[in-house]
Structure formats: C-alpha cells, structure tokens
Chain A
Amino acid sequence: DIQMTQSPSTLSASVGDRVTISCRASQSISGSLAWYQQKPGKAPNLLIYKASSLESGVPSRFSGSGSGTEFTLTISSLQPDDFATYYCQQYYTYATFGQGTKLEIK
C-alpha cells in the first residue's frame, strides 16, 4: 500500500500569510495527487488534481506542485475563509489520503 504523510499536522498562520503544506508518498506516484479542503461538519472540497491543476472555481491563491514522492500545496495570501483542514490523496494505486493538516488562525 502507498502511504501518504503530510506535514505539518497543524499550522498556525495569519491572514495575508503565504503558507505551504507538504505531502510525501512512500513510493513514486508520478503526478497522481489531489488536494482537498474540509471545513467542520462539511464534506471535503476538491482544490487541485494532477498535482498542479486548479479545479474550476477555486481561487488562484491556491497552487500545487511536485511529482514523484514530494508534493506541496501553497496558499499565496491566506484569507479568513481558508482556515480549514487540508488533505492530500494519491490515486496512482487505488486511493490513500494523508492524515490531514489543520490550518489555524495565529
């Protein structure tokens, strides 16, 4: 099974900050990676697919990069609506999610 490890588990930041969340795969997954945002009591929402493709309707401050085993989600300028939990997911072999990164207000 492919394991996905996100870091950090919790991130404290302020509105306007640039933040980066990392996701590492236990083996190469090429570019088969998606990122989701989840708010409390809600279903996850797709942000990025194919590692760097921005889903339609998602603000351009979100971006994804990486390939192979190392991936990054970047939010260029944090907005109040961005405080949530973020998950990466590989779909190279079946599917596996990272454990999540909770983005908190500093």
Chain B
Amino acid sequence: DTAVSQTPKYLVTQMGNDKSIKCEQNLGHDTMYWYKQDSKKFLKIMFSYNNKELIINETVPNRFSPKSPDKAHLNLHINSLELGDSAVYFCASSLSWDYETDTQYFGPGTRLTVL
C-alpha cells in the first residue's frame, strides 16, 4: 500500500493555465506538507497543514492555493501558471507538526512542466 500518493506524476501545461495536484496519505498522520524542488534539486517547504488547518505558509505567490478537505488529503491548486513554476512538487506527511522527532514521509512527486 502506498503511504503517500500524489496525482498526477507528470503534468505538462501551457503558461496561463490553472492546474491542481492531489495528495493523499494513509498513514493516519495529522500533518501534511507541500514542498517544491527546483531544477538544482533544492527542496523548499511551501505549506504545512495540521488537521486541515494551515500552519505554515512560506513566501509563495498567492497563485498557489492549498486545500485540505480532511486530514488525509492535501491538494495544491495553481492559477495562471508561469514558466518559473516548472519544478517537482512533493507532498509529505508526518505524525504531528510540532515534534522535531517526527519523520516526514514523501510522496513520489509531481513533475510540472510549464511551456
């Protein structure tokens, strides 16, 4: 059974389009995250949700809007896609958000290419 799953795995789209990435975890974790990995492989947190509530919102353009319908799901909607949005987006989850001992488990990633 996949612990953290993301769909789609690949997303190719034109500039200006709106797209969504879905994430689901079956680990029973309370906290979910979105990370962006750029072309140089640098990994940076974008958002963190705990029990459907937003707890971390890094400096991310407001074209990016996360939504958590329940604690097992965290979706990422991106409006008006730009070339610079091309990256790999990872979803992750952990048992809690406020314990530094909790391991984050990652989904397989979604490779977004904006043409």
A and B from one complex:
no
**Residues on B close to A: CB < 8 A?**
none
